[in-house]
Amino acid sequence: MKLRILLADDHEIVRRGLCALLQKHEGWEVCGEASDGREAIEMAKQLKPDVVIVDIGMPHLNGLDTTRQLLQHDPHFKVIVLTITDSDQVIREALDAGARGFVLKSDAARDLVSAVEALQSKRMFFTPRVNDLVLAGFLEKGHAISRNEPPNLPTLTVREREVTQLLAEGKSSKEVASLLSLSTKTVETHRSNIMRKLSLHSIRDLVVYAIKNNIIQIQMPPQLRSTTETTVV
Amino acid sequence: MPVRILLVDDHPVVRQGLRTLLEGRSGWEVVGEASDGIEALDKIENLQPDVVVLDVTMPRMNGLEACRMIQRKQKANPEVLFVTQHDSPQMMREALDAGARGYVVKSNAARDLLEAVEAVSQHRVFTALTRSPQASC
């Protein structure tokens, strides 16, 4: 029996690279590819893969919430999170979400095969940085991971987090309603509840919250020579 | 004449994805890979590619600096095509000002890359943000 892997990343070029890497391994097959978290969940329910590899920074539904929803649906799913950052907070959230593997994208060519092998053998795989953090947590506080600040996310329901991500991505209530198959009025209600629960007063505040809590990710460009220049293309 | 291509990106998985896409095209050859701007300058000197596919954000030397250096210092004069996640007109302008001939957003690379390499290898400009691919002479 081949080991069946589902890949979820919004960049086709990355999926091509990951496919090429994984399919070199005899006995493994990529059974499906998804370009965002919502598609990944649908495909996982349908294809029942042995391993799901999810990028953390996907549109519509990020990799952490995808992991949470997958494991809520079926705790037997084995998920590897691919990320561009190994900050304490992202590691903490990936572990909290139930990921059994955590691989930096920059090291994927080296670590991803080992991670899949580990999960195949019912073990977990984390980058050395995660091991250091977990160990430090045990040594300092006697539990798995030290927490400098409590995460804000649990105050929102699964649906509210989905709505938060889509609004922070710049979508209107109508667009969110269409994507989530809800009425615009329901989305507006979710939006009011989110703003009230988090004590936010504008969409700008919501975007800042989403970035700080890894609901959406941004990568800063290198310093441009003319950052104040108005550009018309 | 085959088109000789150098791939420059700090993520090996992205380079692999670009390679599988480009190698499907007969007459094109990926002659080498580099993981940052400094390594790219060395490889250009040695391999003399026709087209350099260049990422913007990389360690040691980013793609914009590398592009400017290619225009200034290299004896060989390859065309530069940026493949980047920065979907921004300002960044695109900066890339073209640095001497690049093409600009493609990574999320659309699978759609735009072949057309872009084709264009820049013939010394034509190709720019494409997410919604508006454009090729011009």
Indicate whether A118 belongs to any domain. yes
CA distance B62 to chain A (A): 7
Number of domains in chain A: 2
Partners of A141 in beta bridges: none
Question: CB B109 to CB A10 under 8 A?
Answer: no
B95 interface with A at CB cutoff 8 Å: no
Q: How confident is the model at residue A29 (pLDDT cuts 50, 70, 90)?
A: very high
Residue B67, domain CATH: 3.40.50.2300
Residue A200, domain CATH: 1.10.10.10
Partners of B105 in beta bridges: B84
Question: pLDDT tens for residues A41-91?
Answer: 999 999 999 999 999 989 889 999 999 999 999 999 999 999 887 777 788
Let me know whether A17 and A105 are in one domain: yes
Nearest to A13 among B21, B62, B127 (CB): B21
Q: Sort A129 into a burial class: Cβ within 10 Å, 0-12 / 13-18 / 19+.
A: middle
Let me know whether A59 and A167 are in one domain: no
Distance CA B35, CA B106 (A): 16
Domain boundary among A118, A141, A164: A141
CA distance A220 to chain B (A): 9
Q: Which of A119-123, A182-186, A214-218, B30-34 shows the lowest per-residue confidence on average (mean pLDDT)?
A: A214-218
Query: Among A142, A35, A129, which Cα is nearest to A89's?
Result: A129
CA distance B23 to chain A (A): 12
Give the distance between the most distant pair of CA atoms in chain B: 37
Partners of B83 in beta bridges: B104
Residue A26, domain CATH: 3.40.50.2300
Domain boundary among A141, A164, A193: A141
Q: For position A225, what pLDDT does the model report?
A: 53
CA distance B63 to chain A (A): 9
Please provide the DSSP assignment of A126-141 as one string.
Answer: E-HHHHHHHHHHHHHH
Let me know whether A13 and A114 are in one domain: yes
Let me know whether A208 and A184 are in one domain: yes
Let me know whether A61 and A173 are in one domain: no
Which residue spans within A84-130 are E strands per DSSP?
101-104, 125-126
CB crowding A199-208: b at 16 or more within 10 Å, else e: ebeeeeebbe
Query: Is there a contact between A77 and A100 (Cβ–Cβ < 8 Å)?
Result: no
Give chain A's contact residues with B (Cβ, < 8 Å).
10-21, 105-106, 108-110, 112, 219, 221-222, 224-227, 229, 231-233
Q: Which residue of A has its CA nearest to B128?
A: A233
Let me know whether A33 and A70 are in one domain: yes
Question: pLDDT tens for residues B100-137?
Answer: 999 999 888 888 999 999 999 999 999 887 754 454 44
Q: For position B137, what pLDDT does the model report?
A: 41
Q: Which residue of A has its CA nearest to B35?
A: A106
Q: For position A231, what pLDDT does the model report?
A: 32
CA distance A34 to chain B (A): 13
Let me know whether A31 and A80 are in one domain: yes
Query: Among B91, B12, B133, which Cα is nearest to A113's?
Result: B12
Indicate whether A196 belongs to any domain. yes
CA distance B13 to chain A (A): 5
Nearest to B92 among A11, A15, A233 (CB): A233
Distance CA B114, CA B118 (A): 6
Q: How confident is the model at residue A198 (pLDDT cuts 50, 70, 90)?
A: confident
Let me know whether A176 and A106 are in one domain: no
Residue from A13, A107, A111 to probe the interface with B (highest B Cβ count within 10 Å): A13
Domain boundary among A113, A141, A169: A141
Nearest to B107 among A11, A105, A226 (CB): A11
Residue-wise pLDDT tens for chain B (137 aa)?
A: 789 999 999 999 999 999 999 998 888 999 999 999 999 999 998 999 999 999 998 888 999 999 998 988 756 689 999 999 888 888 899 999 999 999 999 888 888 999 999 999 999 999 887 754 454 44
B20 interface with A at CB cutoff 8 Å: yes
Question: CB A11 to CB B15 under 8 A?
Answer: no
Let me know whether A176 and A114 are in one domain: no
Number of domains in chain B: 1
Indicate whether A229 belongs to any domain. no
Let me know whether A92 and A118 are in one domain: yes
Partners of A183 in beta bridges: none
B21 interface with A at CB cutoff 8 Å: yes
Let me know whether A35 and A15 are in one domain: yes
Q: What is the pTM of this model?
A: 0.79
Indicate whether A146 belongs to any domain. no
Average of pLDDT values for A222-229?
51
Distance CA A93, CA A46 (A): 26
Residue from B7, B10, B13 to probe the interface with A (highest A Cβ count within 10 Å): B13
Q: Which residue of A has its CA nearest to B111?
A: A12
Let me know whether A136 and A161 are in one domain: no
Indicate whether A231 belongs to any domain. no
Query: Is there a contact between A109 and B13 (Cβ–Cβ < 8 Å)?
Result: yes
Contacts with A, B 108-137, CB within 8 Å: 109-110, 113, 127, 129
B67 interface with A at CB cutoff 8 Å: no
Query: Is there a contact between A45 and A6 (Cβ–Cβ < 8 Å)?
Result: no
The sheet carrying B132-136 orders its strands as B28-34, B3-8, B51-54, B79-84, B102-105, B125-129, B132-136
| A187: containing domain | 153-212
| B126: containing domain | 3-136
